Chain A
Amino acid sequence: MDMEGLLRKLTEEDGVSGYEKKVAGIAAGAFSPYVDDTRTDNLGNLIFLKKGQGNSPPRLLICAHMDEIGLIVTKVEENGFLRFTSLGGFDARTLPGQAVNIYGRDKVPGIIGFKLPPLYTEQEKGQGVKMEDLFLDTALTPEVVRETIAVGSVAAIERKYLTLQHNSRAGKAFDDRAGIVALWQCARELHKIRHEADLYLVATVQEEVGTRGAVVSTFGISPDLGIAVDVCHGDFPGALEQETSPLTKGPVVTSGPNIHPFIAEKLLHVAAEYHLPYQRDVSPGPTGTDARAIQITMEGVPTGLLSIPLRYMHTSVELVDLEDIKVAGLLLARFVAAVDRAFVEGLVCL
């Protein structure tokens, strides 16, 4: 499978937070030729080990989350319409009119229904869209709905992978399956490069509801160093330049209190050495990524963050540049190859 084939397959599959099994299955198949071991932990994190050649190999963790934001049924109305809340951070404005797959006893197609402006009451005018006013419509009879779907059934946005101009691709769940693809690219590249470190590549679960997969997988692996690979806001009209990173200019190396300065520095150094395009940004607090969990696991883990620029985050038209993903993978591979025992020991004596 090529990189684009994997991205398409991963992003057309459904895997909302807590229900990532099918996505894990695709990832397990794709990574298996390039890794030495695959296991799944108690919460469903998918953990690949790529052994290093060092005598006393440092333990590196690089993770990207495989869950996507989704919906969960909170109430089955008398007439068969379904009320829901979100698993992760959906903006209610992006939901009306979307198609969904609802996972009850069977997979049921549905759409997100809503009241149209001509039917608004005076009070409702100018109020905006509220999640509590939306509902799922399966067009099934109430009896069939009750047999098939229950409170707690989850739903994922249905969206086919879109091929736009040049290297631009769009769809749902690119946050953060683009990151999974970067990890895969890294594994593939490392197949050709000697590296000392034992590398744990983790496809984490439940990032969108609070980096929960990273909390437990980092504990289980207890690495010497951890890097989260996620997406960051791309550029678009009306966005502030300092808050976004343009697409096609390479992955973004973050600095800030969540990040060990030597890791950021090493990523930048490696990118320059191999003439890989990169960008920088600064995050003032705990980042909204798995990096926040990695850093404070056990006695503390020196942490880095590499992000792929993406427009329209948490919508069904997340847009990325294929080359940015590829470069992220190559940069990670070169970084891993450049890390030895001395480097990780140097991280704990600032």
Chain B
Amino acid sequence: MKELIQKLCASFGPAGREGQIRAVIAAEIEKLKEEYFVDTLGNLVVRKGPAGGKKILVAAHMDEIGLMVTYIEENGYLRFTNLGGIMQQTLPGTRVFFENGTVGVIGQEKNKETREPGLSKYYLDIGAENRETALAKVKIGDAAVYLAPLHQEGKRLTAKSLDNRVGCAVLLETLSRLSAATLPGEVFFVFTVQEEVGLRGAQTIAYRTKPHYGLAVDVTRVGDTPEPEFKTNVSLGKGPTVKVMDSAVICHPKVTNLMMDVAEKNNIPYQPEVLERGGTDAGAIHLSRDGIPTGALSIPCRYIHTPAEMVDLDDVENGIALLQELLKCEQW
């Protein structure tokens, strides 16, 4: 499990530039002897189970937050904008890498203010002496992601892009453990693009697949750190969460109740979740066409959208167990 997550987290794949991570996931799927297709926007779709019954769309986004180069200065420094929710306070001193392997360091201009100065006061240093040498490696519009390899400490993993490569790992592992014969209907396992910039991949694949039900697999915030930003009971290591609500969706009671029933019947620990800020693919899926009852399963994660996100391996295992039992269950 750790190796799979490590491989996924190491891959490059900011929103809109998911080519590398998609290839890594595709290779895993080929190992499982499953077929897949890639849709117009780049979502990777695996179809499993018998046609004719209820169709379920399970989505985990494979994109990650990142930076995009907007300007290259005379002296070789790069200016950038954000792809998704970058947290400024984590930027100075952070390393990033580009799709071609170029590594850069983020610097900050002198700042005497206590409040966050805005992204225009940060720059990227790729070791270029001037614009010309910079342009040999990077051009405007190129994207970069954090360089922060995975590390394990006990049951906890920390790395960049656990949001949402851990969700991708849950889908891949569930795919490998489930036999098509145990599925009551057709399941579309989808690795979506561009979630971090507005749930865009999920929107088009929900429209295309027309599922009866939707389920997003993603990470969620916790309240078990000193003075957390939001008051929540969600903690690391106490099980995956069953989402009730976030900024983008009020989960359909039929789906949340089914998830909780399945968890209880199979003695899988879970935590109910209300996420005050942030959304997942469930937000786009449930508004597709004339409405799709949708829920979400989340892996609790600390330090979301920093280079050092953290999850607990037990939560990942229990997340896989819950997803597996949920997809096998006949009560949809």
Binding site for B on A (CB under 8 A): 17-19, 41-43, 45, 72-76, 83, 85, 87, 132, 150-152, 206, 209, 212, 215-217, 219-220
SS class, residues of chain A in contact with chain B: mixed
Bound-state Cα–Cα, A41 to B291, Å: 8
* Cβ contact within 8 Å between B244 and A151: yes
Q: Are B252 and A43 in contact (CB under 8 A)?
A: yes
Residue in A closest to B274 when the chains form the complex, CB atoms: A74
**Residue from A41, A215, A220 with most neighbouring chain B CB atoms (10 Å):** A215
Chain A hits for B272, CB < 8 A = 150-152
Which among B21-29, B194-202, B225-233 touches the partner chain?
Answer: B225-233
In the assembled complex, 20 residue pairs joining A and B whose CB atoms fall closer than 8 Å, in A order, are A17-B250, A18-B253, A19-B253, A41-B291, A42-B291, A42-B293, A74-B232, A83-B231, A85-B276, A151-B233, A151-B234, A151-B272, A152-B256, A209-B250, A212-B250, A212-B286, A216-B287, A217-B290, A219-B290, A220-B291
Q: Are B273 and A43 in contact (CB under 8 A)?
A: no
Q: Would you give the shortest CB distance from A95 to chain B, in whole angstroms?
A: 15
Expressed in whole angstroms, the minimum distance between the Cβ of A142 and any Cβ of chain B is 13
State the CA gap A87–B244 with chains docked (Å): 12
Residues on B with C-beta less than 8 A from A150 are: 272
Nearest-neighbour CB distance to chain B for A169, whole angstroms, equals 29
Nearest to A74 among chain B residues (CB) is: B274
| B223, B231, B292: residue with the most chain A Cβ atoms closer than 10 Å | B231
Q: Given B233, B256, B276, B290, which contacts A42 in the complex, CB threshold below 8 Å?
A: B290
Contact A18 B245 (CB under 8 A): yes
CB <8 Å contact, A42 and B292: yes
Is the beta-carbon distance between A73 and B250 smaller than 8 angstroms?
Answer: no
Whether, in the assembled complex, B271 has its beta carbon less than 8 Å from a beta carbon of chain A, the answer is yes
Per a CB cutoff under 8 Å, which of B230, B256, B276, B290 touches A216? B290
Contact mask for chain B residues 273-289; partner A; CB cutoff 8 A; 1 contact, 0 none = 11010000000001101
Give complex CA distance A157, B224 in Å: 30
Task: Write out the residue numbers on chain B whose beta carbons fall within 8 Å of the beta carbon of A216.
Answer: 287, 289-291
State in angstroms the CA–CA spacing of A219 and B274 once bound together.
28
Contacts of B289 in A (CB 8 A): 216, 219-220
Across-interface contacts of A17 in B (CB, < 8 A): 250
The CA of A124 and the CA of B275, in the complex, are separated in Å by: 26
Give min CB distance, A305 to chain B, whole Å: 21
Q: Select B232's contact among A41, A42, A151, A217, beta carbons within 8 Å.
A: A151
- For B287, give its contact among A74, A75, A83, A212 (CB under 8 Å): A212
| Complex: A151 Cα to B244 Cα, angstroms | 8
Let me know if B287 and A72 touch, CB within 8 A. Answer: no
> B273, B289, B290 — which one has the most chain A CB atoms within 10 A of its CB?
B290
- A75 near B290 with CB under 8 A, answer no
Alpha-carbon gap, A215 to B287, bound state (A): 7
10 nearest CB pairs, A to B: A152-B244, A18-B250, A220-B290, A216-B291, A42-B291, A43-B291, A83-B231, A151-B272, A75-B231, A152-B272
